Chain A
Amino acid sequence: MELNQECTLLQSELRKFAQQVILDKVDEFDKSCSVPSDNVKQLAEMGILGAIIPEDKGGAALDTIGLVVSLEEIGKVCPSTALIVAIHNAFAFSIMKFGSDDLQKKYLEKAASGKIIGGFATINTNELHVEHADGNIIVNGTNSLILNAEMRGPFVMFLPIDEEKTVSAYVIDRDLPGLTIRKSETAVGLKAAGIGIASFENSNITHAPLISTKEDGDTVYNAVCDLLNIYLAAIACGLAQGATDAAIKYAKERVQFGEPIISFGMVREKIADMSTQIEAGRLLAYNAALTRDAGKDYSHVASMAKYYIGRAAIDVANSAIQIFGGYGYMKDYPVERYFRDAQVINVLCNRPTDEKERIAKHAIG
């Protein structure tokens, strides 16, 4: 697919950044379960953190496709770093699209400059208890999946505050009394993305900023997930490409039976399948981004992109390990990390089966 000049420029800039700044540190990020704030700040300077934010709020007002090619380039090298950018933009989007003017003023400019890095909590209402007492709303319990928690910024969270169990979307500031966040290191992949677990102890959210005054929380959640689906698809494309590049490089160098293993049909078939899957996934992701940029309904195409390349990235990374053989199983090579990261991307936001149901619904009409 042909990209416009703005996109190709951005693409080459991010490629350079990923190769020159991040590449050597990725293993360290993975081991320490974090991306240093210096590196995140550099992304702010490149305008990527304010990608979705309008110019009058200090953002770069990039087209969706612009951020998609950027995430793809970062994802090739470090899917965790790409996820941080994606989640931050999703945070800004929820406030931009559904928040009051006051909320926009409070958060967007800081988000665009990278002063705050926003987070996003996946809906996890089972472990949260909300009580109404003397006109106050009190929260207890845990939410086990806060994305970008390690970035120490505010995060969007969904709470069941009325009896009908529908959720409302809040921005939770980190100084909320009773809130503690600990780092979760138990996810198999995307370790550096800084996933956290939030615990609430008698936290009074009565005056916490409510995003969904006009719309219910489900609408906000679904809208954010639609957008995140495009971002996640882009990261998965990058991841799959990164794994494939590594596998091709290895297969050219590795000699067995007197020749480089790249000359064997079973290896070549894998490379053909991997490349085809990536191309298909990329077209789906770009198509979803361009559909959004054209102002059309993009929910179903975003679901298609995420569901398809989410799983394909797992298969591609799996094949990459297989091409590396025993070496692929060792932490000395990057393919086992790609494989672990791909597992997490595939289940973020919604289960793949839920995405399929949304696609089916749309197709059936």
Chain B
Amino acid sequence: MEYFLSEKEKQLQATAHGIAENLVLPVRDEFDNKAEFPRAVITEMAKQGMLKIFVPEEYGGTGGKIMDMCIACEEIARVCAGIATAYAVNALGCGPIVHFASDEQKRKYLPRIATGELFCAFGLTEAQAGSDAANIQTTARKEGDYYILNGVKQFISNASESDVFTVLAATDKTRGARGISAFIIEKEMPGLSYGKEENKLGIRASITTELVFEDCKVPKENLMGREGMGFIYTMRNFDRARPGVGAIGLGIAQGAYEDVLDYAYTHDLLNNQYIARKIADMATEIEAARALMYATARMIDSGAKAYSKESSFAKLYPSDVAMKVCIEAIEVLGPHGVLKEYYIEKRLRDAKITQIYEGTNEIQRGVIALELTREMGKKKRTKKE
């Protein structure tokens, strides 16, 4: 379908496509098998300007547009969603710096993030704070010119491979979500270490580790924005990042669909209407997901004030489509579909995470329902007046 991408967007798409085909494709099995971080690939991606797209122009980037992130993530995930995740985590990690950090902080970190000199990640989740993200137990106690952080962050993507982190900790436990603050953490800070490394079903090229804070001394100038604003920053960062997860889901679906179409064509299965029906549905749903994702990205990029609901749409639907397409694709391939050699099972294992990370799809449905309730309330009130 024609989406009238700008010349710049088309160029980015072509670059990402080239990287996926030339750099990611040859190594995707190896990194999935070994569950290893694809440092050389991400470094080369950075060299080709792929991390610049997360950063505004005045800080050495090429704009920080959601549309660009979606285009890039889809192309990489089309070939390997594990490597796409390892790449996209940088967007989630630097998002709060781009939008909520001071000018000084931005100047300190963003140019180096744009070039790939610094990899960055995001630390929110804890053992008891998954869907209930405000329930974090990590604390930040102010002592003179420092904050002292204590606690364990769980399931942190790229944790052991990143240089800079946006981390959430409670500065005032009595205030719940309003007592949470955001900090920029550097990996060299004393008291920061890595804990358990997870053994995952999929996205195995993206390393998932605990971030452990034991009396970690963080200079007070590394507080982001104001104390107590961390949770709001987090939610707004997620609003901007969710279409990127949708894009990873979409890329997985697109890749699986291309594989299955090729298989069905080569094996003469397209005159079987049972198969043709499945593939027609896949093509339709993938296009619907892409249209929804692009529309959301354009809406956010053009300066819309509120877009929580749309951003949830753009994560929920493409990730559900990704799962459905992969399961159906395996059915079309039959016994071949479950073998590594045909790669679809890998796509399915990867697809599953897109329904979970950055807010499970149940949380997304909750966000959507909450927004709808608010909109309805507003409508009713206006009517009365």
User: Which A residues lie at the B interface, using CB under 8 A?
Assistant: 122, 144-145, 184, 186-189, 255-258, 261, 264, 266-267, 311, 314, 318, 321-322, 325-326, 328-332, 336, 339-340, 343-344, 346-348, 350-353, 356-357
Contacts and interface: CB of A to CB of B under 8 A. Distances in A.
Contacts, number: 107
Interface stretch (B74-82, B183-191, B195-203): B195-203
B274 A322 contact: no
A343 B356 contact: no
Contacts of B362: 264, 266-267, 322
Contacts of B373: none
Interface in B152-211: 154-155, 198-202
B338 A187 contact: yes
Nearest to A187: B338
Interface in B125-145: 125, 128, 130-132, 135
Given A144-B339, A326-B155, A328-B356, 18 more contacts: A184-B339, A187-B339, A255-B128, A256-B128, A257-B132, A258-B132, A322-B355, A325-B356, A326-B130, A329-B200, A329-B353, A331-B201, A343-B348, A350-B334, A351-B334, A353-B274, A353-B278, A357-B274
Contacts of A267: 362
20 contacts: A187-B340, A187-B345, A189-B338, A266-B365, A266-B366, A318-B352, A321-B352, A321-B356, A322-B356, A322-B360, A322-B362, A330-B199, A340-B201, A343-B337, A343-B345, A343-B348, A348-B335, A351-B331, A353-B275, A356-B274
B302 interface: no
Contacts of B155: 326
A322 B135 contact: no
Contacts of B341: 186
Contact of A344 (B272, B338, B349, B352): B338
A38 B199 CA distance: 29
A332 B340 CA distance: 22
Nearest to A267: B362
Contacts of B154: 326
A317 to B, nearest CB: 10
B297 to A, nearest CB: 26
Contacts of A326: 125, 130, 154-155, 356-357
Given A322-B361, A329-B201, A339-B201, A188 B132 contact: no
Question: Closest 6 A-B residue pairs measured CB to CB?
Answer: A353-B274, A186-B340, A188-B345, A256-B132, A336-B201, A331-B199
Contact of A325 (B130, B275, B333, B337): B130
A145 B355 CA distance: 32
Nearest to A351: B334
Interface of B: 125, 128, 130-132, 135, 154-155, 198-202, 272, 274-275, 278, 323, 327, 330-335, 337-341, 345, 348-349, 352-353, 355-357, 360-362, 365-366
B131 A329 contact: no
B360 A325 contact: yes
A311 B278 CA distance: 14
A144 B341 CA distance: 11
A314 B327 contact: yes
Given A318-B323, A322-B361, A339-B201, A329 B352 contact: yes
A358 B42 CA distance: 49
B323 A325 contact: no
Q: Helix, strand, loop or mixed for chain B's interface?
A: helix
A340 to B, nearest CB: 7
B332 A330 contact: no
Contact of A188 (B338, B356, B365): B338
Nearest to B339: A186
Nearest to B132: A256
Contacts of A257: 131-132, 135
A350 B135 CA distance: 48
Contacts of A339: 201, 352
Contacts of A348: 335
Nearest to B323: A318
Contacts of B360: 322, 325
A186 B357 CA distance: 26
Contacts of A189: 338
B208 to A, nearest CB: 8
A267 B360 CA distance: 12
A331 B356 contact: no
Contact of A353 (B201, B331, B340): B331
Contacts of A261: 131
Given A188-B340, A329-B202, A344-B338, A256 B130 contact: yes
Nearest to A335: B201
A117 to B, nearest CB: 21
A254 to B, nearest CB: 8
Contacts of A328: 356
Contacts of B130: 256, 325-326
A332 B335 contact: no
Contacts of B199: 330-332
Nearest to B361: A322
Given A266-B365, A314-B327, A330 B135 contact: no
Q: Interface centre among A331, A343, A352, by most B CB within 10 Å?
A: A343
Nearest to B277: A353
A121 to B, nearest CB: 11
A328 B337 CA distance: 23
A339 B341 CA distance: 19
Contacts of B349: 188, 340
A28 to B, nearest CB: 14
Given A318-B323, A326-B125, A347 B338 contact: yes
A184 B132 CA distance: 42
Contacts of B327: 314, 343
A264 B337 CA distance: 35
B201 A325 contact: no
